[in-house]
Amino acid sequence: MTLQLSQIRAWLGLPDEGAPGTARGCSIDSRSVKAGELFFAIRGPSNDGHDYVPDALAKGAAAAVVQSDYRGEGPLLRVADTSLALGRLAARARRRWGGTVVAVTGSSGKTTTKDILAELLRDILPVAKSQGNLNNEYGLPLSLLRIPDQVRTAVVEIGINRVGEMRPLGEIAAPDVSVVTNVGTAHVGNFASVEEIAAEKGRLVEALAPAGTAVLNADDDRVAAFRDRHSGTVVTYGIERPADLRAEDVELLGSDGARFRLNGHPMHSPLAGRHNVYNVLAAAAAAAALGVAPERLGEPLRGLRPSAMRGIVRRIAGITFIDDCYNASPPAMEAMLEVLRGTPASRRIAVLGEMRELGAQSRELHRRVGAAVGRAGIDHLVAVAGDAAEIAAAAGVSAEFHASPESAASALTGMLRRGDAVLFKASRGVQLERARDIVCGCLGAAASEGREAA
């Protein structure tokens, strides 16, 4: 969005003093700030953005929003709290822009659903979307402030880590369509119970105006109950239960995706796993809320590609690698184990890292995933870091534990052979992609040398 600095000062309750000008978007990172953007100096637990104000201005930032005690010079907007000012500015700018906002939340599938919806609509109804997983108290306002002026629909995601976060984020986004994918145990360590997570997620539905639309997963009991929180239109989706948009005759094709019928229309999704069928359904239901009929989605659906580290399939030296390193929760782990199970292979090897932010339930939930490994018929398990040792202990199959991704990579490099299928999945903090990169790099180099020798 392009905003006049005078308008920004007014919205932030500042005197109309200072140089005129415009700001095109916002940033909180001096390393990536672009010329013309408004730089917000955020004070975090380990870094203070005020230390980088001179760098941001030197790169051409239109101005910097700083706290009142900052002693530097330049085109500055001084406020009591820069974090609150960022949210306040985004809320006012979103309302002045006046387009349609689709907000997506859930314990898993948020980013994938957002990306699917934006891609499905790309040639039908151009949309802006939040980049990556910019979904928190900083990411959501930044996403809204980066909406191009000419675009009239935006898809954003909203994530929460603690009680009390959703209401202010919902007020900032002012969604016209609220999508809830599911409620599960992700981040349960920061909440008293899954029910408390559900209560918080449901506040995104409460953020809707009466004319808004709630898009709800009919197969998730907690999510389906959110229909009572909205007096307006509700669109449901699912597989198991009756729903406004329902997938039938679902055929899972392992790493090759899935085929199904959506309200009678044949669909082929290249995204692997039953969980991704739900993500496609959530996006299709949100598209329906925007007036796009399901039968228009078949062709763009076939062209979908997974986002980075979210189910990407690569084949190197005759080995199939399923890269789902980005994050992990118990339901997501089990879903990807089923993808591995359905992937043609002579051996199936799961490389599973620790799932974090599970609190007092961590060991029990890791052991449940271990039991799922056994049920999925995995030939060998490589567990990586922390409580992933509990996965290995409960798996009941050939298993080993490594404290680091590098150690796991060393073991895998000597173990893998042509015809294997390998799944990598862990919470973000484990950085399991380091093991993936080492293994794939070694195998790729070996394959290249083999071709040259031939």
- Over residues 267-286, the pLDDT tens digits come to 999 998 899 999 999 999 99
Strand partners, 399: 381
What is the pTM assigned to this prediction?
A: 0.86
Judge contact between 259 and 268, C-beta under 8 A: yes
pLDDT at 448 exceeding the cut of 70: no
Domain ranges of the chain: 2-83, 98-302, 312-453
- Separation between Cα atoms, residue 286 and residue 288, nearest integer Å: 5
454 pLDDT band (50/70/90 cuts)?
very low
- Separation between Cα atoms, residue 363 and residue 406, nearest integer Å: 23
Question: Which architecture does CATH list for 312-453?
Answer: Alpha-Beta Complex (3.90)
Query: In this predicted structure, what is the pLDDT of residue 264?
Result: 94
Residues 367-393 have pLDDT tens digits of: 999 999 999 999 999 999 999 999 999
pLDDT at 293 exceeding the cut of 50: yes
Identify the helix (H) or strand (E) that includes residue 246: strand 245-252
Side-chain half-sphere CA neighbours of 54 within 13 A: 4
Residues 241-257 have pLDDT tens digits of: 999 999 999 999 888 89
Q: Which two tokens stand for residue 288?
A: 């329906």
Query: In this predicted structure, what is the pLDDT of residue 366?
Result: 96
Query: In this predicted structure, what is the pLDDT of residue 123?
Result: 87
Judge contact between 21 and 51, C-beta under 8 A: no
Query: In this predicted structure, what is the pLDDT of residue 161?
Result: 86
Percent of the chain beyond pLDDT 70?
97
Percent of the chain beyond pLDDT 90?
79
Least trusted range by pLDDT, from 24-33, 178-187, 374-383, 422-431: 178-187
- Separation between Cα atoms, residue 422 and residue 401, nearest integer Å: 16
Q: How many residues does the chain have?
A: 454
User: Which of 395, 305, 403, 393 is CA-nearest to residue 350?
Assistant: 395
| Mean per-residue pLDDT, 390-405 | 96
17 pLDDT band (50/70/90 cuts)?
confident
| Mean per-residue pLDDT, 144-164 | 94
Judge contact between 150 and 89, C-beta under 8 A: no
Strand, helix or coil for residue 244:
coil
Give the count of beta carbons closer than 10 Å to the beta carbon of residue 166.
22
Judge contact between 439 and 409, C-beta under 8 A: yes
Give domain 2-83's CATH number out of 3.90.1150.10, 3.90.700.10, 2.60.120.260, 3.40.1390.10: 3.40.1390.10
Residues 355-365 have pLDDT tens digits of: 998 988 999 99
Strand partners, 423: 322, 350
Query: In this predicted structure, what is the pLDDT of residue 101?
Result: 98
User: Which of 244, 434, 256, 428 is CA-nearest to residue 332?
Assistant: 428
- Separation between Cα atoms, residue 311 and residue 325, nearest integer Å: 8
Q: CA separation (Å) from 189 to 112, 196, 329, 368? A: 23, 11, 12, 16
**E-strand stretches of 311-387:** 312-316, 319-324, 347-353, 380-384
If you average pLDDT over every residue of the chain, what do you get?
Answer: 92
Q: Which residues of 29-47 are buried (b: 16+ CB within 10 A; e: fewer)?
A: ebeebeeebbbbbbeeeee
Identify the helix (H) or strand (E) that includes residue 268: strand 265-269
Domain 98-302 has CATH 1.10.287.3510: no
CA torsion sign for 270, 272, 274, 277 is: negative
Dihedral angle, C-alpha 208, 12, 162, 130, nearest 10 °: 60
132 pLDDT band (50/70/90 cuts)?
confident
Residue 132 burial class via C-beta count within 10 angstroms: exposed 0-12, middle 13-18, buried 19 and up: middle
How far the first Cα of the chain sits from its last, in Å, is: 56
Give the count of beta carbons closer than 10 Å to the beta carbon of residue 340.
26
User: Which of 40, 258, 302, 15 is CA-nearest to residue 146?
Assistant: 40
Query: In this predicted structure, what is the pLDDT of residue 133?
Result: 72
189 pLDDT band (50/70/90 cuts)?
confident
Q: What is the DSSP string of 280-331?
A: HHHHHHHHHHTT--GGGSHHHHHT--PPTTSSEEEEETTEEEEEE-S---HH
Residues 61-101 have pLDDT tens digits of: 999 999 999 999 999 999 999 999 999 999 999 999 999 99
Q: Which two tokens stand for residue 303?
A: 């062209």
- Separation between Cα atoms, residue 38 and residue 29, nearest integer Å: 11
269 Cβ partners below 8 Å, 6+ apart?
Answer: 257, 258, 259, 260, 276, 277, 280, 301, 302, 304
User: Which of 32, 14, 13, 35 is CA-nearest to residue 24?
Assistant: 35
